Copies of this chain bind each other. A is one copy, B any other.
Amino acid sequence: MELPSSTLAQAVEALSSLPGVGKRSALRYALHLLQQPTDDVLLLSDAIHRLTTDIRYCRICHSISDSDLCPICASPKRVQSIVCVVENIQDVMAIENTQQYRGLYHVLGGVISPIDGIGIRDLHIDTLLSRIQQGTPAPIEEVILALPTTMEGDTTNFYLNKQLQPMGVKVTTIARGVAIGDNLEYADEITLGRSILHRIPFGG
């Protein structure tokens, strides 16, 4: 596809770097923007620009924040003694959306993956361990591991558990099982197997 303008071509090229956006969608976005009021287009350009300048990360949990502390770490209403360890910020938002968790988080920023060259030092593991050692602002009693059920997630879980156990902190992991509303016959064997193995008291 040959574009009649290099400015348009550059916009299409840049927009198609977004995940799941091909050249065709990128062109659609660019032509749409050309038809919008200048102010709206500048708003988008500026909002993207500010992602590089104004975004900060919470100094305790490494989640996205507008200030030094994220709203969750700064809230006196959250249970300070439980920390849920997640891979990324999306996971924090997913758990927050359930409205079932009132503790704190710790965003690792990835999982251990030798193939991708991600080692222990590339993740926020040291700050997790020092959070527990220092016990500030409150002693941490439980660490919930909510990492993905992949080889890399399991490796990270295993490593974290080995580090956390000697610290006398309770280490748990989120329940995996057949999703609510799903038919047993369509569940994969490993998930269904775990659901039976980790069955809970009726009404629990």
Contact = CB atoms under 8 A, between A and B. Distances in A.
A137 B15 CA distance: 37
Report whether over half of chain A's contact residues are helix, strand or loop; otherwise say mixed: helix
Interface residues of A, number: 59
Contacts of A8: 51, 55, 64
Nearest to A70: B4
A130 interface: no
Nearest to A37: B52
Contacts of A40: 17
A149 interface: no
A11 B72 contact: no
Interface in A5-22: 5-8, 10-11, 13-15, 17-21
Contacts of A21: 29
A4 B63 contact: yes
Interface in A32-54: 32-34, 36, 38, 40-52, 54
B48 A33 contact: yes
Copies in the complex: 2
A66 B5 contact: yes
Contacts of A96: 2
Interface stretch (A86-94, A117-125, A164-172): A86-94
A151 interface: no
Nearest to A13: B47
Contacts of A7: 47, 50-51, 54-55, 66
Contacts of A64: 3-5, 8, 34
The CB with the most chain B CB atoms within 10 A, among A19, A52, A70, is that of: A52
Given A2-B96, A8-B55, A19-B28, 8 more contacts: A4-B63, A4-B64, A5-B64, A10-B47, A11-B47, A27-B93, A31-B89, A41-B49
Interface of A: 1-8, 10-11, 13-15, 17-21, 25, 27-34, 36, 38, 40-52, 54-56, 63-66, 70-72, 88-90, 92-93, 96-97
